[in-house]
Amino acid sequence: MTTNEINNIRAEFPILLEKVYNRPLIYFDNAATTQKPKAVLDRIIYGYEHLNANIHRGVHFLSQQATEAHEDARNYIANFINASSSTEIIFTRGTTEAINLVAFSLGEFACQKGDEIVISVMEHHSNIVPWQMLCERKGMKLRIIPMNEKGELQLDEYEKLLNERTKLVSVTHVSNVLGTINPVKEIITKAHSKNIPVLIDGAQAVPHIQVDVQELDADFYVFSGHKVYASTGIGVLFGKREWLEKIPPYQGGGEMIQNVTFERTTYNELPFKFEAGTPDYIGSTALAEALKYVQNIGMEKIANYENELTRYATKRLMEIDGMRIYGTSENKSSVISFLVENIHPYDIGAILDKHGIAVRTGHHCAQPLMDFLKIPGTVRTSFSFYNTKEEIDTFIEALKRVVNMFR
Ligand code: PLP
Q: 383 in a domain, yes or no? A: yes
Q: Is 95 in the pocket of ligand 1 (CB under 6 A)?
A: yes
What number of helices (H) and strands (E) belong to the chain? 14, 17
Hey, how many other C-beta atoms are within 10 angstroms of the C-beta on 165?
15
Residues 360 and 284 in one domain: no
Residue type present at position 136: E
pLDDT the model gives residue 318: 98
Residues 345-362 have pLDDT tens digits of 999 999 999 999 999 999
Band the pLDDT of 77: cuts 50, 70, 90.
very high
Alpha-carbon span 308 to 383, nearest angstrom: 10
Alpha-carbon span 407 to 396, nearest angstrom: 16
Alpha-carbon span 100 to 184, nearest angstrom: 20
Residues 254-292 have pLDDT tens digits of 999 999 999 999 999 999 999 999 999 999 999 999 999
Residues 302 and 198 in one domain: no
Alpha-carbon span 376 to 363, nearest angstrom: 7
Distance 95 CA to ligand 1 centre (A): 6
Q: Is 203 in the pocket of ligand 1 (CB under 6 A)?
A: yes
Rg of the chain taking only CA atoms, in angstroms: 22
SS3 241: helix
Residues 74 and 11 in one domain: no
Residues 91-142 have pLDDT tens digits of 999 999 999 999 999 999 999 999 999 999 999 999 999 999 999 999 999 9
Q: Please answer whether residues 236 and 63 qualify as being in contact, where contact means their C-beta atoms are separated by less than 8 angstroms.
A: no
Q: Please answer whether residues 349 and 379 qualify as being in contact, where contact means their C-beta atoms are separated by less than 8 angstroms.
A: yes
Atom index in ligand 1 nearest the CA of residue 98 equals 16
Q: Is 224 in the pocket of ligand 1 (CB under 6 A)?
A: yes
Residues 8 and 69 in one domain: no
Q: For residue 65, is pLDDT > 90?
A: yes
pLDDT the model gives residue 57: 79
Q: Is 126 in the pocket of ligand 1 (CB under 6 A)?
A: yes
Residue type present at position 214: Q
- Of 240, 273, 295, which residue is a domain's last? 295
Alpha-carbon span 188 to 206, nearest angstrom: 18
Residues 149-200 have pLDDT tens digits of 999 999 999 999 999 999 999 999 999 999 999 999 999 999 999 999 999 9
Q: Which of 378, 358, 357 is nearest to 366 (CA)?
A: 378
Residues 231 and 355 in one domain: no
Distance 367 CA to ligand 1 centre (A): 14
Tell me the C-alpha to C-alpha distance, in Å, between residue 75 and each of 87, 89, 258, 288, 385: 9, 8, 22, 9, 26
Which residue range(s) make up the domain with 154?
Answer: 41-295
SS3 205: coil
SS3 298: coil
- Of 231, 260, 295, which residue is a domain's last? 295
Residues 91 and 200 in one domain: yes
Q: Which helix H or strand E contains 9, and what residues bound it?
A: helix 3-11
Distance 203 CA to ligand 1 centre (A): 5
Q: Is 172 in the pocket of ligand 1 (CB under 6 A)?
A: yes
Active site members: 365
pTM above the 0.85 mark? yes
Q: Please answer whether residues 286 and 225 qualify as being in contact, where contact means their C-beta atoms are separated by less than 8 angstroms.
A: yes
In this structure, the residue with its CA closest to atom 5 of ligand 1 is 176
Q: What is the CATH number of the domain that holds 336?
A: 3.90.1150.10
Distance 240 CA to ligand 1 centre (A): 21
- Of 266, 295, 324, which residue is a domain's last? 295
Q: What value does the mean pLDDT of the chain take?
A: 97
Q: Is 176 in the pocket of ligand 1 (CB under 6 A)?
A: yes
Hey, how many other C-beta atoms are within 10 angstroms of the C-beta on 330?
8
Residues 151 and 288 in one domain: yes
Q: Is 94 in the pocket of ligand 1 (CB under 6 A)?
A: yes
Alpha-carbon span 253 to 276, nearest angstrom: 5
Q: 35 in a domain, yes or no? A: no
Residues 228 and 355 in one domain: no
pLDDT the model gives residue 405: 95
Residues 100 and 88 in one domain: yes
Q: Please answer whether residues 81 and 294 qualify as being in contact, where contact means their C-beta atoms are separated by less than 8 angstroms.
A: no
Q: For residue 407, is pLDDT > 90?
A: no
pLDDT the model gives residue 58: 79
Q: Please answer whether residues 122 and 363 qualify as being in contact, where contact means their C-beta atoms are separated by less than 8 angstroms.
A: no
* Strand partners of residue 381: 336
Report the domain count for the chain: 2
* 49-58, 212-221, 289-298, 301-310: segment of lowest average pLDDT: 49-58
Residues 290 and 313 in one domain: no
Atom index in ligand 1 nearest the CA of residue 123 equals 3
SS3 110: helix
Q: 48 in a domain, yes or no? A: yes
Q: Please answer whether residues 69 and 51 qualify as being in contact, where contact means their C-beta atoms are separated by less than 8 angstroms.
A: yes
Atom index in ligand 1 nearest the CA of residue 95 equals 16
Q: 36 in a domain, yes or no? A: no
Residues 290 and 377 in one domain: no
User: Can you say whether the dihedral through the CA atoms of 387, 393, 396, 397 is positive or negative?
Assistant: negative
Which of 227, 234, 237 to probe ligand 1 with, by most ligand atoms within 8 A of CB? 227
Residues 62 and 172 in one domain: yes
Percent of residues, the chain, with pLDDT higher than 70: 100
Distance 32 CA to ligand 1 centre (A): 8
Q: What is the CATH number of the domain that holds 222?
A: 3.40.640.10
Alpha-carbon span 297 to 317, nearest angstrom: 28
Q: Which of 225, 195, 199 is nearest to 104 (CA)?
A: 199
Alpha-carbon span 287 to 278, nearest angstrom: 17
- Answer whether the bond into residue 37 is a cis peptide, omega within 30°: no
pLDDT the model gives residue 105: 98
Q: 34 in a domain, yes or no? A: no
